[in-house]
A and B are shown apart, each in its own frame.
Chain A
Amino acid sequence: MIPSYYEFQSSVKVISGKNALENVPFELNNLNAKKPIILTNEVLVKYGQVQIVVNALNASNIDIGPIFVDIPQDSSVKVVNEIADLYRQEKCDSIIAIGGGSVIDTAKGVNVVVSKNTDDLMDYMGLEIINGRLKPFIVIPSTSGTGSEATLVAVIANPEKNVKMEFISYNVLPDVAVLDPRMTLSLPPRITASTGMDALSHSIEAYTCLQKNPLSDAYAFASIELIRDNLFSAVQNGKDEIVRLSMANASLMAGIAFSNSMVGIVHAIGHACGAISHVPHGDAMTILLPHGMEFNKAKISEQYSKLLLPLAGPEVYSKTPDNERAQKTIDTVKDMSKRLEDICGLPTRLRDAGVKKENFDKIAKTAINDGASIVNPVEVTYDDVMIILDRAY
Chain B
Amino acid sequence: MELSTCKITRAENKRIKKCIINVILWFLGRGIQSCTRFDKNVKREIQVYDEGFKIMLKVWNSEQSVMVEKKGERLYYIKTKDDKEADITIYFKSIEAALLLLTGQIGIAQGYAEHRILLKGDIILAMPFIRMINIVEAYLFPKFWVKRILKSFPDRSSNSLIVYIGLILGV
Contacts and interface: CB of A to CB of B under 8 A. Distances in A.
Nearest to B125: A369
B123 interface: yes
A7 interface: yes
Interface stretch (A33-41, A85-93, A163-171, A287-295): A163-171
Contact of A127 (B118, B125, B128, B150): B118
B120 A6 contact: no
A374 B128 CA distance: 11
A290 B42 CA distance: 32
B119 interface: yes
Interface residues of A, number: 29
A126 B120 contact: yes
B89 to A, nearest CB: 8
Interface residues of B, number: 25
A374 B127 contact: yes
A46 to B, nearest CB: 36
A373 interface: yes
B119 A163 contact: no
B122 interface: yes
A384 to B, nearest CB: 10
Given A373-B127, A374-B109, A129 B120 contact: yes
Contact of A369 (B108, B120, B121, B127): B127
Interface stretch (A75-83, A175-183, A221-229, A375-383): A375-383
Contact of A378 (B114, B126, B151): B151
Given A375-B109, A379-B152, A166 B115 contact: no
A211 B113 contact: yes
A387 B30 CA distance: 36
Contacts of B113: 209-211, 262, 374-375
A171 to B, nearest CB: 13
Interface string A107-127: 000000000000000000111
B152 A5 contact: no
B130 interface: yes
| Chain A, interface SS category | loop
Contacts of A7: 114-115
A3 interface: yes
Contacts of B115: 5-7, 128
Nearest to B100: A5
A274 interface: no
Interface string B110-150: 10111111111111111110110000000000000000001
A378 B150 CA distance: 10
Nearest to A165: B122
A371 interface: yes
A22 interface: no
A227 B109 CA distance: 30
Interface in A354-373: 368-371, 373
B81 to A, nearest CB: 18
Nearest to B124: A369
13 contacts: A4-B114, A6-B115, A125-B121, A126-B118, A126-B121, A127-B112, A127-B118, A210-B112, A211-B112, A262-B113, A369-B128, A374-B112, A374-B130
Interface of A: 3-7, 125-129, 163-166, 168, 209-211, 262, 368-371, 373-375, 377-379
Interface of B: 108-110, 112-128, 130-131, 150-152
Given A7-B114, A7-B115, A129-B118, 5 more contacts: A126-B118, A129-B120, A165-B122, A375-B112, A378-B151
* CB-CB nearest 9 A-B residue pairs: A127-B119, A379-B151, A211-B113, A210-B113, A379-B152, A369-B127, A371-B123, A7-B115, A128-B118
